[in-house]
Amino acid sequence: MKNLIQVLQKKSTELNLFSAGDRLKLADKHIPDALAVLDFWEPGARVADIGTGGGLPGLALACARPDLDFTLVDSTAKKINAIEEMAAELELKNVHGLVGRFEELAHEKKWREQFDTVNARAVAELPVLLEYVAGFLKIGGKFYAWKADYEPELKASEKAQEVLKLGFVRAHKYSLPGGEARAILEFKKMATLSREYPRGNGTPKAKPLL
């Protein structure tokens, strides 16, 4: 992972992809956090990392799992351009950037119900996040959400789980190298999603399914 850390630090310093504090924590916190679930994915799976920001967890996972195909999604073109440049520098052939809002992309035929797995770290609270994710997943596909204190959010997401056909499977608990407790929540797409969802730009956040 040494190259990845160097490339992320260099690009992030140029473009401010991570705060100065987070840049110093890439090796000890953010990369280990990104790699906490290396065993989850089926070989050959098509994975979307939504709200990838500066490229985590997607870029770290793509380095570690060259057998999987990663689409890194964010509404900010500057970030996705930077990710494509970093992927080229790292000679990663399994990384594709996608610019756009989840609420729009998840209605496009090219992306709707196309992914075996979706993951998201530090993007939104669960009731909102589940609406962002549901349209991208194939039936039977898995969603992994990186969370810290997850129980109140999980409880608040019960209605969203039901409406969006995303059933909670389990919490995979782990600790960061400094001892901080974290969990990756696993959800499974149980049935096809109504065309109503996701709702229009900004609505999932403004009026979460509570």
By beta carbon distance, the residue nearest ligand SAM is 53
Of 2-10, 121-129, 147-155, 176-184, which part binds ligand SAM (CB under 6 A)? Answer: 121-129
CB of 136 to ligand SAM, least distance (A): 11
Computed on alpha carbons and rounded to an integer, the radius of gyration of the chain in Å comes to 16
Comparing CB distances to ligand SAM, the nearer of 124 and 154 is 124
**CA atoms of 146 and 173, how far apart (whole Å):** 10
Residue 101 found at the interface with ligand SAM (CB under 6 A): yes
Residue 54 found at the interface with ligand SAM (CB under 6 A): yes
Tell me if 128 sits within 8 A of 208, measured CB to CB: yes
Q: Are strands 69-74 and 95-99 parallel, antiparallel or unpaired?
A: parallel
Residue 51 found at the interface with ligand SAM (CB under 6 A): yes
**CA atoms of 44 and 169, how far apart (whole Å):** 22
Among 102, 143, 187, 197, binds ligand SAM (CB under 6 A): 102
Instruction: Give the footprint of ligand SAM on residues 135-194 (CB under 6 A).
Output: none
Comparing CB distances to ligand SAM, the nearer of 123 and 166 is 123
CB of 144 to ligand SAM, least distance (A): 12
Residue 11 found at the interface with ligand SAM (CB under 6 A): no
Of 3-11, 70-78, 133-141, 167-175, which part binds ligand SAM (CB under 6 A)? Answer: 70-78
Q: Compute how many residues bind ligand SAM; rule: CB under 6 A.
A: 15
Residues near ligand SAM (CB under 6 A) are 51-54, 56, 74-76, 79, 101-103, 121-123
